Each structure stands twice: as structure tokens, then as C-alpha cells.
Amino acid sequence: MTESEKCATGLVNSTEKLRNLFIEHPDLPLVVFANSDANAGDFSLMSCYFVNAEVGEFLDCCQTVNDERCYTEREDFEQDIYDSICFDFEGSDQELEQEVKRKMKEYDAYWKPCIILIVGN
């Protein structure tokens, strides 16, 4: 093996940020997301060099707004509610806005504070 082939893989990540989040927020659960580059499908496991951790919220319930999506941003969820009802809604813009807010309120109890860990390549 040549010296140029002996370079670091980039797979070893510092635990400082995640460790500090656990220490600062010991009661928060952990939610892990792998981005679309996390596994190409060729192997049962794939290592990830991209790691990010932050405190956020997770919509912890099944929902029919977009059942293929996990929400960690209320604004994204609100926009998707709007998009899902706006074309068939029969009423004024103000009534549409009120309906979106009403639907958002239905999910208030399901937004859970958590530590969000995102991995990928």
C-alpha cells in the first residue's frame, strides 16, 4: 500500500456535539434519520460519514397529510396541509387559512421534543 492510500476514511466522527446534547437534555428521546445517500442498497449495512445532531421536534403520529414523510418542522407540515386541501376547498382564502390552522391544532399533542440525529453520505 502506498502512503497516499493510507489516508483517513472520514468515518470517525467526534461525539462532542451529540454527547453535549444528551448531557444538556437528558430527558429527550432520540430520533434517527438516514438521508437518501445513507445506503445505496448494495449492502445490509453502510457506514456514514455525515453526522448531524440537534434538538428539535418530531411529529410522532401517523397522519394522512403525507404518509410517506416524517415531519420535524411545523412549517413544512402546515404547508403540506395547505397543499393537500387548497385545490378542493370551497371557501374564501380566510376560511382556507382557518381550516389549515384547525387541522394543525389537531396534531399539537403529537409534536414531541427530541434530539434528532441525521446520518448520511
Residue 7 lies in a domain: no
Residue 8 lies in a domain: no
Q: Report whether pLDDT(23) > 90.
A: yes
Distance spanning both ends of the chain, measured CA to CA: 25
Is 112 in contact with 57 (CB distance < 8 Å)? yes
- Separation CA 91–CA 84 (nearest Å): 15
Residue 33 lies in a domain: yes
Choose the most confident range, by mean pLDDT, from 6-20, 31-45, 103-117: 103-117
Q: Report whether pLDDT(98) > 80.
A: yes
Which of 78, 69, 72 lies closest to 30, judged by CA? 72
DSSP code for 37: T
Residue 6 lies in a domain: no
Mean pLDDT confidence for 82-104: 92
Residue 46 lies in a domain: yes
Residue 1 lies in a domain: no
Parent domain of 96 = 14-120
- pTM for the predicted model, two decimal places: 0.81
Residue identified by cell 449492502 is 43
Q: Report whether pLDDT(27) > 80.
A: yes
- Separation CA 46–CA 109 (nearest Å): 35
pLDDT-derived band at 68, boundaries 50, 70, 90: very high
Give the per-residue pLDDT at 2.
75
Number of domains forming the structure of the chain? 1
27-41, 55-69, 74-88: the lowest-pLDDT one: 27-41
